[in-house]
């Protein structure tokens, strides 16, 4: 099984965290990288051909605040009507539409919220990486210091894994739904 977690940047000039979580012989192996353009992201996704893609970005945008963002405010979710969030929401919505047209299954996640719910989140990025390593993940996480974007991509991929195993819930309504781990 292969899952992809994406910590999408609002501006394609900024780094997007990208994680492939592969389950092999009961081992969870993560491979992370930083990508930029939508075409780079699409190319990498097609190459991996995942069972599910979890994107840390709003995947619906109608110009108004969403119930799901309000409900996850205590975990740090921001309203989509903020300037930077609006740009991210438009990019996320367009990317999700492209992926669905290619028959990929896509869910919206909130990486920071997932990290907090799972108990891996820490203000210090190295501590977050250690927490993830201690959870039994293998791969890039053991080989080098990861960026915050890569760590958020791992949180997104782990949420996809939990989603496929029925250990998540959807927050929100028809205006937008965010998948988070069950507490």
Per-residue model confidence as pLDDT tens digits over 23-52: 999 899 999 999 999 999 999 999 999 999
Enumerate the β-bridge partners of residue 105.
Answer: none
pLDDT in tens, 66-88: 999 999 988 888 888 887 899 99
Domains and CATH numbers, the chain: 2-181 (3.30.420.10)
Yes or no: say if 60 and 88 are a contact pair by the CB < 8 Å rule. Answer: no
- What does pLDDT average to in each consecutive run of 10 residues of the chain (183 residues)? 97 97 94 97 98 97 90 87 88 97 97 96 95 95 96 98 97 94 88
Q: Give residue 149's pLDDT.
A: 98
Calpha distance 88→79 (Å, rounded): 11
Yes or no: say if 115 and 121 are a contact pair by the CB < 8 Å rule. Answer: yes
pTM beyond 0.85: the answer is yes
Q: Give residue 83's pLDDT.
A: 78
Q: Give residue 80's pLDDT.
A: 86
CA distances from 163 to 3, 43, 125, 145, 158 (A): 11, 24, 25, 27, 9
């Amino acid at each position: 099984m292969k899952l992809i977690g994406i910590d999408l940047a609002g501006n394609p000039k900024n780094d997007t965290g990208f994680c492939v979580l592969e389950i092999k012989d009961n081992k969870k192996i993560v491979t992370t990288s930083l990508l930029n353009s939508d075409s780079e992201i699409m190319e990498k996704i097609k190459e991996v051909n995942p069972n599910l893609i979890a994107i840390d970005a709003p995947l619906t945008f109608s110009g108004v605040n969403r119930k799901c963002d309000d409900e996850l405010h205590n975990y740090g979710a921001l309203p989509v009507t903020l300037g930077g969030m609006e740009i991210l929401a438009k990019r996320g919505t367009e990317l999700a539409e492209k992926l669905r047209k290619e028959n990929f299954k896509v869910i919206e996640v909130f990486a920071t919220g997932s990290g907090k719910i799972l108990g891996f989140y820490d203000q210090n990025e190295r501590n977050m990486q250690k927490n993830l390593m201690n959870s039994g993940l293998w791969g890039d996480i053991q080989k080098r210091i990861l960026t915050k974007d890569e760590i958020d991509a791992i949180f997104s991929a782990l949420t996809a894994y939990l989603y496929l195993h029925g250990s998540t819930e959807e927050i929100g309504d028809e205006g937008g739904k965010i998948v988070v781990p069950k507490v």
